[in-house]
Amino acid sequence: MAFNIRLVAIFLGFILRLADGRVQLGGFENVNPTHVNGVQLYEGDILLTEEQRKQLLDRKAIAKVSMRWPNGQSGTPVVPYKFGDELVNREAVEAGLAHWEEHTCIDFQEITSIDPAKYLNFIQDSGCWSNLGMQSKPQNISIEKGCDDLGTVVHEVGHALGLYHEQSRSDRDDYVSVLYENIEDDKKINFEKAVDNNHSVPYDLASDMHYGSNFFSINGKNTITTKYPLVQGLIGIRNGLTHYDKLLANTMYPCISKWMQICNIATNPCQNDGYVGKDCQCVCRSGTIGTHCQTVYQSYYDSLISPCSENVTTPGPVTSPSYPNNSPAGVRCVKWIQAPDCNTVKIKFNYFKLYRKEPQCVIDRLEIRTTNLTVGDV
């Protein structure tokens, strides 16, 4: 069951965000164990080695080439893996690995006989977590029941390949605001910034590696808000690899240069953050078209945000999706309502209903921002 809401907005001048929170509040990181085998998880789901804890390597993509998975006989990276117990959701894991293989040159090979010295061992432990990059010995990836959706599996495998969280980038303050007053005191370290090794790949609010709006919230309010209001619903969705996730992975390993060599292409012909793919054609970001991605017809995020998100500048009704019926599960809407000069705000709720169920945390949420576009009340 989802919320039904109908608003009559007359020259409104605030941000209204409607979010169907049909997932655990705060994401799986928020309910993960704090420690695994006595070692504290870093940023909620990363199991660092002692050396990594001391050095806190450059973020976004791990700097040490020795911690990236090496090439196999085919000349492309090979990542051996196995299932460490019968509890783990094999179908979900295999779907996540297939997603990585579809969009990169990385080859995941299941171990059927003698175990190599280094491989991924998928288990169902408490929570969902992974090591960062390739380790010097077999490494566990925990995929607990309840966080075995595609985006989460892709996320944890991303850590094992060497990817940090997106909001760890040093340039994140240009795109998001971190509201430390809403973060649990012992979790504020999860929001630290560091020098990046991002291979010149742009910041991606939609990245599968990005935190969500209220991760590690102490009061249910947002811990991260976007500078551009209409994209608030994108962060933390994790439906799989975005264009810039693929661009980063294919640059760092490096798949693109190998594909260009196979395709006999000396210089990347793709424009506007496009890149040469395995079929020798340009892989274009959303908002661009053309053989070489040369035509920009809208911004990167325009086609990614929910169809129910909009910038409202004239009086009239504002409704939730499917009103008067229940909104579909997982819908996130942002209504950025801006009043003309010399006008003020008047709002009338004709019908209002939110659904909340505990302890399963099936939650509908309404957030209204008034004087501050980055801070709102739930």
Residues 180 and 164: their CA atoms lie apart, in Å, by 20
Q: Which of 43, 156, 166, 367 is labelled catalytic?
A: 156
Q: Compute the distance between CA of residue 268 and CA of residue 106 in angstroms, rounded to an integer.
A: 20
Would residue 86 show up in a list of annotated catalytic residues for this protein?
no
Label each residue of the chain as H, E or C. Answer: CCCEEEEEEECCCCEEEEEEECCCCCCHHHCCCCEECCEECECCCEECCHHHHHHCCCECECCCHHHCCCECCCCCEEEEEEECCCCCCHHHHHHHHHHHHHHCCCEEEECCCCCCCCCEEEECCCCCEEECCCCCCCEEEECCCCCCCHHHHHHHHHHHHCECCHHHECCHHHCEEECHHHECHHHHHHHCCECECCCCCCCCCCCCCCCCCCCCECCCCCCEEECCHHHHHHCCCCCCCCHHHHHHHHHHCCHHHHHHHHCCCCCCCCCCCCEECCCCCEECCCCEECCCCCEECCCCCCCCCCCCCEEECCCEEEECCCCCCCCCCCCEEEEEECCCCCCCCEEEEEEEECCEECCCCEEEEEEEECCCCCCCEC
As annotated, the active-site residues are: 156
